[in-house]
Every structure is written in C-alpha cells, then in structure tokens.
Amino acid sequence: MNAIEISNVTYCYESGIEALKNLSLQIPVGSKVALLGPNGAGKSTLLHHLNGLKLPDKGSIKIMGDIITKQNAPLIRRKVGLVFQDPDDQVFSGTVWDDVAFGPRNLQLTEAEIEEVCHAALGNVGMLEYKHTPPYQLSYGQKKRVAIAGILAMKPDIVILDEPMAFLDPVGQDEVAGLLQGLNYMGKTILLSTHDVNFAASWADMVVLLKEGELLVAGDTNLLINETYIKEANLHLPIIARTFKMVPEFADHLPINEQDAYRILFKWFNEKDKYIY
C-alpha cells in the first residue's frame, strides 16, 4: 500500500511561478524518503501539499488511500505531521509540555489521554525531563526535538520534515537521525527534504530528486552515485564515493555510504589475499 500517492500535481503561486509541474510519485508505507534538489526546486511547496496546507491546482494527492480536499484537510493533518524547518515557527507555548499538548487539547482529548500521548511523545524524543522548561531556554536542537514531539503527540502515520538537519551541530544531527530511525521502526513513513547527500545516502531507502518543479528521478540510494542525475540536480556525490573515485581500482565500484565502502574494501582485501597467496 502507498502512504502517499501524488498524481500529475501542478501548483502555481499567485506570482505566476509554477513551483510543481505535473509531478507524480508513489511512496510505500514504512519508507524513509529523502527529497533532494537545488534551492527553488519545489521541495517545500511539495511538502506543504502533503498535509493539505496547499492544494494542487491540477492533479491529486492521496494519503493512505484518501484524496486530500479542502474539506478533509484538517483530518489529513492528523495522519500527516509536518515539522517546519525552523522550530521557532512551531514551538511557542509557555512550557515544553503545553507546547506538545497543544494539538491533543485541540482534539478535545481527555486530560488522561493528553497526559498519555504527551508523555509518550516527549519520551520518544528524549525530552521528558524538560517538560516544565520554557522553550526559549532550550538549544536549537532541543527545540527541534520538541517540535517533533508536538507532531508525534498527534499520532500521525506519516512524518514530514523540512530540512531537519539544517543548523544542527553534528551531535544534534546524529540525535535527530537516530530519532527518525526509531520512528521508522515504529512503522511511520518518513519523508524529509535535505541538501545533505551524505545523510540521505546513509539514512534513506528511497530518494527523490526534484528540479525546477519536476520529478527528475525517484528510486533507491544508488541514484546518489549516478553522476548524470547528481549533476542535473546540482548535488555532489557522497563524500565516501568521491574518495573512492580517486582510486583507479574503485572508480567503477563507488560506495553509497560507509557500510557500502566497508563491504567493497572487505571484498577487495579478501580477493587481494587470494591473489597474493
């Protein structure tokens, strides 16, 4: 089953800019998808369509089988949580707890239910001990995790994140990457936009390359070592692939990520041993 089914979607801003052009894409349930492309490719515009913040001018989008319409957009937002790039756009209540409880309170859950979902959501992002803290006292990375908890408290099937790694330090990036991995183990479909090919290559199981509002290509992470597509999407090869490319023996067997590099090196050392002895 597809979590998201985008069919021939076109979207034009009032300025006349056509930000999405006849775009079609299917994302199976449980996928980890990285959406890549140069600035202005239409990544944010596409993400805003997936929870009904924007509706297509042409074409349709199905979420877990239901077409998004103006009428059902509020319900769709419970199935698809969107984490904005800047947590300050999303985290604004007096305390971390109130912030995470904001969505569940709007759903008019009982106090006991609110307690349960907020406790679980803050636990999932490792921020329970900060529940009484005002968000302005948190680091950027901690605010980001609270923003994610606010989305999780709505128990979405699909979590969408607009550049979740932007402005995080390396440890913060690892924490968010681990968190996203954990959410995926819980069965959630995750789609994020990123400029970071290295992260996409080690985290995603599907990559989608956009260019000027059009789908360039979608498929597995091997696309990230396809130099034709990489060039067209204004990206560069993952750093591990660039390193291997400098060695003539490996130039035709570029690894996607560190694990892939280990596999290639392991094989090479074994074959080399056989050759020597």
Residues 247-276, interacting with ligand ADP (CB under 6 A): none
Those residues whose C-beta lies under 8 Å from the C-beta of residue 188, and which sit 6 or more positions away, are 30, 156, 157, 158, 159
Classify burial at 63, counting beta carbons within 10 Å of its beta carbon; exposed 0-12, middle 13-18, buried 19 or more. Answer: buried
CA–CA separation, 138 and 100 (whole Å):
14
Measured from the CB atom, the residue of 19 and 241 that comes closer to ligand ADP is: 19
Please tell me the count of residues contacting ligand ADP according to CB under 6 A. 12
Tokens, residue 159: 């979590």
Among 39, 71, 108, 110, indicate the residue that binds ligand ADP (CB under 6 A).
39
Q: Is 41 in the site for ligand ADP (CB under 6 A)?
A: yes
| Using rule CB under 6 A, residue 164 touches ligand ADP | no
Which residue from 153, 200, 177, 255 is spatially nearest to 43, judged by alpha carbons? 200
- In whole angstroms, what is the distance from residue 238 CA to residue 225 CA? 7
With contacts defined by CB under 6 A, name the span among 36-44, 108-116, 164-172, 255-263 that binds ligand ADP: 36-44
- Tell which one of 40, 59, 126, 141 touches ligand ADP (CB under 6 A): 40
127: Cα separation from own chain's centroid: 21
Stretch that binds ligand ADP, among 42-50, 79-87, 125-133, 225-233 (CB under 6 A): 42-50
The residue behind tokens 């056989």 is 274
CB of 56 to ligand ADP, least distance (A): 13
The pattern of x and - marking residues 201 through 220 that bind ligand ADP according to CB under 6 A reads --------------------
Whole-number minimum distance, CB 226 to ligand ADP, in Å?
Answer: 20
CB of residue 43 to ligand ADP, shortest distance in Å: 3
Q: For strands 2-12 and 18-28, give the pairing.
A: antiparallel
Where on the chain is the footprint of ligand ADP (CB under 6 A)? Answer: 13, 15, 17, 19, 37, 39-45
